[in-house]
Amino acid sequence: MKIALIFPPQWDPRQVPLCIPTLAGVLKPEKHDVRAWDMNLSLYRSILLQQHGSLKRQRLIKRYLNPHTLADCRRFGRTSNRVEDLIDDGYHHNNTHGLFWDFIQTDLSPDASRNWRTAVKRPGCFPFHQRIKPSILDVVQSMPDLVCISINSDTQIFGGLSIASVFRSKLPKAKIVIGGQALRARRHLLVEHDWLFETVDAICVSDGEPTLKALAKGMPLPEVPNILWYNGWVVQSPKESEPVYFTNAYEPDYSVVEPAQYLSPLSVIPVETARGCPWSRCSYCGHRAIELHGKKKYVPRPLGSVLSEIQMHVSKGYSRFFFVDEAIPCDRLRALSTGLSGIKGDLSWICYIRPEPTYDSSVFHLARQSGCLKVFIGLESGSGRVMQLHQRGTTPEIVRRVVLDASKAGLAIHLFVIAEFPDESKADIEATDQFLKDVLPSVDAFGFTYDVFQLTAELGTPLYEQPGMFGAAGFRRNTKADLQYDFQMIPTNTEDFLHHARHEKRIRSVVEKYLQHRNGLRHIESIDDSTHLLLIEKHLDAQAPRWLSLARPDLNPAWR
């Protein structure tokens, strides 16, 4: 069977989207004819490689992609910003549409079905459509039997639907399936929109691997797991989910993508080590909500499979990795670090961990010795009351110890903070400030970063189902947003309530005061996870042999 895997705009073009090699890997043992088109990357490359570019423009792009630029953090940040300006200027010359590293600007909300209809009926109204037209025509000419379009983010909804619309008219005999996190989160809402099935044959609302394997075998839609489909009268939902089952033989197929084509000075390879969250009980956590029938799901990948994939990448000259696991538990990090220590090569990697009491300093020292440079940690709030109320399963004291132990081991730290808890008091806000004051003197100032996110209630979460239990007076709703799945909270404590922007400003003030405004990654705008790794690596060892080449050894000639 001829199968086309499509990754639509918009997504960050600086790192390989894991879904493409993952889905290709599932099909590889069956000997199907699989081809992949990263149309998001095609969009960015078409803008930066346009023929009428000036010599100054070409030099700027080469400077950005030159690993030596990473030696100066601030200079790299300025260069990255200038390249982002080129992207936006080349995308569309008005204030309605814009294209940047990590988001796309449009006047259409992805939460309204009327805008989804616009994408289906008038795909050419989006500026990106003309840019990716050659890729679309290439897919059409390949005459696939099955087209799978991954829509992982809300920023990809209009791209995915507009592309599907073209394929429906040009490939009437092909089976077209869309799937991904942006659809999965809306699965309860999509059953009310049977008009979508005039364009697509099915919508995957859970793990895509079982769905794709069944479709590739030619199974009829009623027998395909994890999909919504239309029987002519009503949209049918799957009776139960079929999760992915990792085996030791599981391995993504990177032959369908070329990591060196992505817009990063050096390639950082994403490697999935597990799927889901081992806790999945936080009041605002969408994991239970998006799984069919609310089943908790955490599926770790066999360690042997992870290490085998790393070894495969190392044999091809790659040594930098971003482990895709939302919250690596302590035992898992210890085992992973031990396994990586046995692989020959100068490895470097980053990961996300869950701050739990079982972590101790020995785990972080082992991780650092095996090449870990940074860990990303969910603090959310420095208030024990808020943590307990929202069922975080940890305490500020545990998180504080984890941060200090990781810092002593030589690891850089990223903290995730949540703003706008609906009943947050002044004392709770001050507790978060105090947490930062306690840990900041011990963290690496160069590598320390943080994000402040606004709390929202997703459909199906405890926070959405019982807002009063968590101090919320309700939600802010837009009656025209019939496909909205997450909602801003209405606070009960309006006197002490800090809006997101004010909360972020407050935290920035504390951070800069205690880090004394020293240069670091937190000063770079629009930095992606992979770039964290590259800049820290260069900062730690500017003389390592891997940096001696003036050009990327794995760089496609088109960029030179």
Model pLDDT for residues 66-78, shown as the tens digit of each residue: 999 999 999 999 9
Burial of 342 (0-12, 13-18, 19+ CB in 10 A): exposed
* DSSP symbols for 330-378: HHHHHHHHHHHHTS-S--EEEEEE---TT--HHHHHHHHHTTEEEEEEE
Q: What percent of the chain has pLDDT over 90?
A: 76
Tokens of 419: 């703003």
- Please check the confidence at residue 191 and state whether its pLDDT lies above 80: yes
Burial of 103 (0-12, 13-18, 19+ CB in 10 A): middle
Convert the pLDDT of each residue in 1-32 to its tens digit.
999 999 999 999 999 999 999 999 999 888 89
CB 121 within 8 A of CB 165: yes
Q: What angle do CA 544, 547, 552 make, to 5 degrees?
A: 155
**What does pLDDT average to over the chain?**
91
Determine the Cα–Cα distance for residues 419 and 453; give it in Å rounded to an integer.
Answer: 6
Convert the pLDDT of each residue in 327-351 to its tens digit.
899 999 999 999 999 999 899 999 9
- Please check the confidence at residue 37 and state whether its pLDDT lies above 80: yes
Determine the Cα–Cα distance for residues 455 and 463; give it in Å rounded to an integer.
Answer: 10
pLDDT at 546: 45
Determine how many CB atoms are found less than 10 A away from the CB of residue 223. 8
- Please check the confidence at residue 543 and state whether its pLDDT lies above 90: no
Name the strand (E) or helix (H) holding 59: helix 55-65
Convert the pLDDT of each residue in 270-306 to its tens digit.
999 998 888 888 999 877 655 655 555 788 999 999 9
| pLDDT interval class at 448 (50, 70, 90) | very high
Q: Say what the pTM is.
A: 0.93
pLDDT at 496: 65
| Residues contacting residue 151 through CB under 8 Å, at least 6 positions apart | 8, 157, 159, 160, 178, 179, 180, 181, 182, 183
Burial of 501 (0-12, 13-18, 19+ CB in 10 A): exposed
Q: Which comes out higher in pLDDT, residue 298 or 165?
A: 165
Determine the Cα–Cα distance for residues 104 and 526; give it in Å rounded to an integer.
Answer: 13
CB 532 within 8 A of CB 521: yes
Kindly state the average pLDDT of the residues 377-395.
95
| pLDDT interval class at 51 (50, 70, 90) | low
pLDDT at 295: 56
Q: Is 173 helix (H, G, I), strand (E, B) or coil?
A: coil
Tokens of 286: 């969408």
| pLDDT interval class at 549 (50, 70, 90) | very low
Domains (range + CATH), the chain = 1-236 (no CATH), 266-453 (3.80.30.20)
Helix/strand/coil (H/E/C) assignment for every residue in 477-493: CCCCCCCCCEEEEEECC
- Please check the confidence at residue 436 and state whether its pLDDT lies above 70: yes
Kindly state the average pLDDT of the residues 124-129.
89
* CA distance between the termini of the chain: 37
